[in-house]
Amino acid sequence: MNAPVRTRAAAAVWRPAEGLSVRGTVVLLPGRGEHPGVYERFGRRLAVDAYEVRVLDVPADQDVEDTAAQVADAVGDAPAPVVLAGSDTGALHALSVAARPGTGVAALLLAATPAQVLPAPAAGVPVAGGAAGPDAADATGTLDAGPEASPDAGPYAGPYAGRYAGRGVSRDVSPAVAAGAGSAGGPHVSPEASPYAGRDVGLAVTGGAGSVGAPSVSPDAGPCAGRGVSRDVSPDAGSGMGPGLGDWQDELAARTACPVHRGRLDADARFVRGGLARPVPAALVRAAAGATPPDLPTLVVHGGADPVAPPAAARRLASGLPRARLATVAAGRHDVLNDLAHRSVAATVVLWLESLRAGPHLPPAVTVEDAPSPP
């Protein structure tokens, strides 16, 4: 009933079962290394709730003009409302396309967005926690206070790029820069580095917010936890690459803690291994960075233990979008739509989709509160 079908615009489509009225459409753009079939269970779950899911084949290095044309084809006959979604580099493509007028897109879903493109925070815009967990916390406690990007930082320059982007740690930070980073007495952790960079112990991830604790490492802390990666972070870490992704097993661990998803990727001949070890294309970064933040309802979904894209960057991204909500998945890794909590994430997305249909001026259809204690 929910088997994928092919259309001219989409490489795979999951439709609601016959007899159900379609409640809307999600057009999804995959990330590095992925192909449309990777999102089968996400598509099937949303189709059960009467939402159609169309997944496009959009390589990371594809020209944004071509992506916009693909999206226009997919949106043309799609049941409204249409939500444009993207994961990893697909999220940057979605941001770039949604900023254009006349796209026919009603809302945005951004998952595991790389950290290079961070719009300036919108004044007075609250960032509300999603049902998938509490808001992402600044994993190091100093990410938001780092130095501004050098004018010569190149195409990856942005609020998080910084002149120390990609180094992971610098032990010769000048007093002036250290003062700006809020950490004059110790090593300066680059805002672009993984949440694990610059630490000799891993993060114990709880409730979506990383906390530095004892040397014991949470099993969900990610592939870099406890490795002391601060001294050998790849020079490309500031380009959307995670440290410690030297082989396929490291990449699998960075992508997901779900054994089913790991097994599927491991056996998938179409999946491009090493995708996360490739930098985000500079042209895509420039396109997304130059786009005006779209005034659309936006759900930002991010793993609280994502070793590729720092969780703190997701909060900054959401704060820079006019109508965004942030859902942080506790201990979630980079493939957040397919990770261990994929059921909860899909449910969170459906609740958000239902709120779009109801309209932003209406209260939530369901409110949950603790029952009063018996007298």
% of the chain exceeding 70 in pLDDT: 63
pLDDT for the residue 244: 58
The first and second tokens of residue 85, run together, are 């979604």
pLDDT for the residue 116: 67
DSSP character string of 60-94:
TTS-HHHHHHHHHHHHHTPPSSEEEEEETHHHHHH
Q: Where are the domains of the chain?
A: 1-360
pLDDT for the residue 359: 78
At residue 94's C-alpha, the angle toward residues 353 and 275, to 5°, is 115
pLDDT at 185 over 90: no
Q: Residue type for 297, please?
A: P
> Residue 348: helix, strand or coil by DSSP?
helix
- Supply the angle between the helices 89-98 and 64-76 in degrees, to the nearest 10: 70
As a whole number, mean pLDDT of residues 137-146 equals: 29
Least confident of 40-54, 90-104, 269-283, 347-361: 347-361
Residue pair 88/281 in contact (Cβ under 8 Å)? The answer is no
Q: How far apart are CA 198 and CA 170, in angstroms?
A: 9
How is residue 168 annotated by DSSP?
S
Least confident of 54-68, 132-146, 266-280: 132-146
As a whole number, mean pLDDT of residues 333-346 equals: 98
DSSP character string of 270-309:
TS-TTGGGSPPPHHHHHHHHHSPPP-SEEEEEEETT-SSS
pLDDT at 203 over 60: no
Q: How high is the mean pLDDT of the chain?
A: 72
- pLDDT-derived band at 374 (thresholds 50, 70, 90) equals confident
For 188-202, letters b (16+ CB in 10 Å) and e give bbbbbbbbbbbbebb
pLDDT at 372 over 70: yes
pLDDT at 132 over 90: no
As a whole number, mean pLDDT of residues 237-265 equals: 81
The first and second tokens of residue 304, run together, are 């609280």
Q: How far apart are CA 208 and CA 187, in angstroms?
A: 25
pLDDT at 355 over 70: yes
Rounded to the nearest 5 percent, the helix, strand and coil shares of the chain are: 30, 15, 55
More confident site: 132 or 62? 62
The correct answer on CATH 3.40.50.1820 for the domain covering 1-360 is: yes
More confident site: 245 or 209? 245
pLDDT for the residue 360: 66
The first and second tokens of residue 133, run together, are 């967990």
